[in-house]
Amino acid sequence: MSAGPLDGIVVLDLSRALAGPIAAMAMGDMGARVIKVETPSGGDDSRSWGPPFVGTEEDRHSTYFMSANRNKESVVADLKSDHGQETLTKLIRRADVLIENFRPGGFARLGFTPEVLEQINPRLITLSVTGFGHDGPEGARPGYDQIAQGEAGLMSVTGSPESGPTRIGVPIADVLAGIHGALGIASALIARQATGHGAVVRTSLLAASISAHVFHGTKWTVGKEVSEPTGNHHPQIAPYGSFRTRDGWVQLAVGTEAIWKCFAVAMGIDADDPRFATNHLRVSNRDVLVSRIEEALAASERSSLVEQLTEAGVPAGAIRTLDEVYEWDQTLSQGLVIDVDHAALGPIQLPGPAIRIETATGASILRNTHDAPPVLGEDTETIQLWLEETATEFGEQRTA
């Protein structure tokens, strides 16, 4: 039985919405104790984001909130009140990590400057997630995912020439900022073992989005070419994109010349056709090539085509709807759907963590079970009791 590699680490999640909660959830997935500190008046903003909501009209719960808050406890505290600040101070003394995504300077205005945090707990690691960075000429701007997608150029390379700039269908800036934040925390925890001191980890929606540019970034910084949206076809590899079959869509990734030869044989195309003989030529003659492929696939069934191409050594896959994804045997085999018991809803299923860690013998060293996202304030009494029981250990006055 394993509690996870971060068992014993205490994380305070003061963040709302998505990027910070995703980072905190990643810590919880790895076994850390994550205490989500929420305002009494509604808690995390995403608790009200919907529909869909589940539960009764009097006791409804946001599925959006559930996406980023598994494996956490919830305590309510008004951080503008003396009692709330006292509670948070006690929590900080016991914590290893604090995660916040206030606008730059917002947490300091509550009285918790970096110097105060250092005084309360010199071993504390703080993750600060902002929209555009904690400093710089536009650091004070508020940031939301779609705004960051636009400002960071992601929308300029998404969509098609006909559609114009298009947002990515998932909040990718938030997701990536959360992942980078979790990586920063893990690195700071390792560094603390050597130094004994905490650190401040910073990331932003802007930084996370720009980190995702990959070849689009170097296409400009090195090649001085500006990428444009190319729809579902790769701008620099062909054929590499989505194609319609008789009963759905498939994606093809012909990334090497060897794969091209296999694919051409399967499609009845002359691999040595002067228009298609190299990737550069295939990109230049993409429209003609795509037309040929679409003709060849028009009568094919999605599942049989993917099977045929896979057997031929050609990377291919279906474009699945989300219900198909969560019912797919491969998804289930990877532990990407987990069963939890929600305090108000009972047994529910959630998307599971993306990481598996195993020993050489195949034994998992991750936590064995997962907890449902908490109801607002569900653990307030338990946490207050824990603070009281550990008061002497942390040099505090017991109240009883």
Count the residues in the chain.
Answer: 400
**Which pair of structure tokens corresponds to residue 139?**
């650091």
Q: What is the 3-state secondary structure (H, E, C) of 59-82?
A: CEEEHHHHCCCCCCEEEECCCCCH
* Mean pLDDT calculated for residue range 58-80: 96
pLDDT at 400 over 80: no
Contacts of 202 (CB under 8 A, 6+ apart): 127, 128, 129, 130, 133, 134, 184
More confidently predicted of 161 and 380? 380
pLDDT tens profile 210-223 = 999 999 999 999 99
pLDDT at 104: 87
d(CA 36, CA 379): 9
Task: Say which of 29, 174, 270, 273 is annotated catalytic.
Answer: 174
pLDDT at 120: 97
Whether 174 sits among the annotated catalytic residues: the reply is: yes
Domains recognised in the chain with CATH numbers: 10-212+329-394 (3.40.50.10540), 240-321 (3.30.1540.10)
Average pLDDT of the chain is 95
**SS3 helix, strand, coil % of the chain, rounded to 5?**
40, 15, 45
Range list of β-strands (E), 187-327: 199-204, 240-245, 248-253, 316-318
